[in-house]
Amino acid sequence: MFKIVGSLSLIAGLRFFGLFVVMPVLSLYAISLNADHKNDMTLVGFAISAYAISQIIFQIPFGILGDRYSKRNVIAFGLIVFIIGSLICAFATSVEMIIIGRIIQGAGAIGSVVSAKITDLVLEEKRGSAMAFMGIAIFISFLLAMIIGPSVGVKYGVDKLFILTAILSLCSIILLYALVPKAPHLEYLSSSSAVKYINILKNKNIIILNISVLIQKFLMTFAFTIIPVSLVHHLGMDENRIWIVFASSAIIGLFMIAPGMIISEKYKKPKGVLLFAVVLFGLAYILMGFGDTKQNLVVYAVGVVLFFGAFCLQEPILQNLASKYPKMQEKSLSLGIFTTFGYLGSFFGGIVGGRIFNQIDFMYIAIFLFIFMIVWFFVLILLHNPSTYENLYFSLDKDINNLDFINSLNGVIESYVNRSQNLLVVKYDNEMIEKEILQDEIRKILQ
């Protein structure tokens, strides 16, 4: 499992490094390219969020392709598109070219396919640890990006950062084919695309997670739009030193991932961790609003630290839960929709942040967001605890053609056959039926 998870985590980490490394300085870079309209933060916010437009458009199609074809090939194609967009940004001479390049970067919408690849290759009981490992890899890349981005970007130019992202994406393609194995051959009762959409859209838990990731990513790009500008233009911090705030925040957030996942997986309290993170988000924006208004750098920096802590707590848990509620044949599509909602939030976060930042006192914005966090808190309370879902595994010595009958048993959520390992996998709700009773019923069917 380590080879599989490690290689996919490295690929995800390199790709996210490419996305994150420009974020701390992109707003300042866009302002420099927009010399005639330096006070127009709307275009700057659009440059930050532009990649989310094509992510929104292509995430679901990539998810559908991931369900039908080789996920490795789909991931590789997305990385090639990302490389093209990165090179356009690297040689941009205007903020408009940055926007075009960012849109093409986003067209390589492979986030859901990478997550689905992990669900194909890793047993559900170990998937939480796998997602946590990938989360740690992503946040190590995030930490490095927060250090390298501001320091290298300010000293050598942001265009060099875009070239670096293209090189790392090329390395990811090589790793993909060198280390990541093909997915096992799975057989399940096939459903039409319409049925898949209906199953996903009527699932209360998936709806709550989609809303949650939209809000979370909105808060993230909103923060990346306003934090660098506030630190430099409102609080008087030197551009060469903003990496200190981002790096220290990322380090603290990184150390919060492991305790969060332990509470979520070992003690089966994922919802509690998500709710705690919402509280931290609310406090973070209040502190940033107060610090920005009162010109208090220390208070503002504490708010930034809390923000990244909340983000790091939520990110791996949201990704893990998003893979638990949909059925196996719907995972790529469901994760595609989930990721689309995330990028929808990313897009509006940058746009809204750039639009209102210089027009409304930030304290009022922070108060509004705090109230919104209260609403989000109560929405998350309705999430069902997935710890009641368990899997049973049966070795097969002959073909099985009555999955529909197994699926109709009380408490069974889904069943499928892993042909690569000759295993029947049955997912059930332990609150609806006892494990021993269900095992006996299925063994009778298999005889």
Q: What does the pLDDT look like over 397-438, one tens digit per residue?
A: 777 777 788 888 888 888 888 776 778 888 888 888 898 999
Residue 412, phi then psi, degrees to nearest 5: -80, 130
389: β partners? 429
Name the nearest CA neighbour of 85 among 134, 38, 44, 52. 52
Is the model's pLDDT at 218 over the cut of 80? yes
Which one, of 444, 341, 333, 292, lies nearest residue 66 by Cα? Answer: 333
Identify the three-state secondary structure at position 34: coil
Q: What's the pLDDT tens digit per position in 132-150?
A: 677 677 767 777 887 788 7
| Number of residues assigned to the chain | 447
Instruction: Give 428's strand partners.
Output: 390, 412
β-bridge mates for residue 392, sequence order: 426
372 and 244 Cβ atoms separated by less than 8 Å:
no
Paired with 424 in beta bridges are 394, 417
So what's the pLDDT on residue 80?
Answer: 93
Predicted local distance difference test score (pLDDT) of residue 262: 85
Integer Cα distance of 142 and 268 in angstroms: 27
d(CA 360, CA 183): 51
Instruction: Give the span between the Cα atoms of 167 and 18, in whole angstroms.
Output: 9
Q: What is the pLDDT of residues 178-204, one digit of tens each?
A: 887 776 666 665 555 566 667 787 889
What is the pLDDT, as a whole number, of residue 380?
A: 95
Query: Percent of the chain beyond pLDDT 90?
Result: 17
Residues of the chain with CATH 3.30.70.100: 387-446
Per CATH, the number for 387-446 is 3.30.70.100
- Return the structure tokens found at 428: 């059930």
Q: Start-end ranges of CATH 1.20.1250.20 in the chain? A: 2-381
Q: Spell out the alpha helix ranges (H) of 230-269.
A: 242-261
Within 10 angstroms of residue 54's Cβ, the number of other Cβ atoms is 21
Predicted structure pTM score: 0.76
Residue 376 buriedness (CB in 10 A; 0-12 / 13-18 / 19+): buried
Q: Which of 97-106, 156-165, 244-253 has the lowest mean pLDDT?
A: 244-253
Contact 363, 234 (CB under 8 A): no
Other beta carbons within 10 angstroms of residue 361's beta carbon come to 11
* pLDDT over 80 (residue 209): yes
243-to-74, 164, 230 alpha-carbon distances in Å: 35, 18, 14
- Cα 65 off chain centre by: 19
**pLDDT digits 0-9 by tens, 229-253:** 888 888 888 877 887 887 788 788 8
Q: How is domain 2-381 classified at the CATH fold level?
A: Growth Hormone; Chain: A; (1.20.1250)
Coil vs helix vs strand at 191: coil
State the Cα torsion 218-223-229-235 to the nearest 10°.
150
Res 430: pLDDT:
84
> What is the per-residue pLDDT across 421-430, written as a single tens digit (0 to 9) for each?
778 888 888 8
User: What's the angle, vertex CA 352, arms to CA 349 and CA 355, rounded to 5?
Assistant: 145
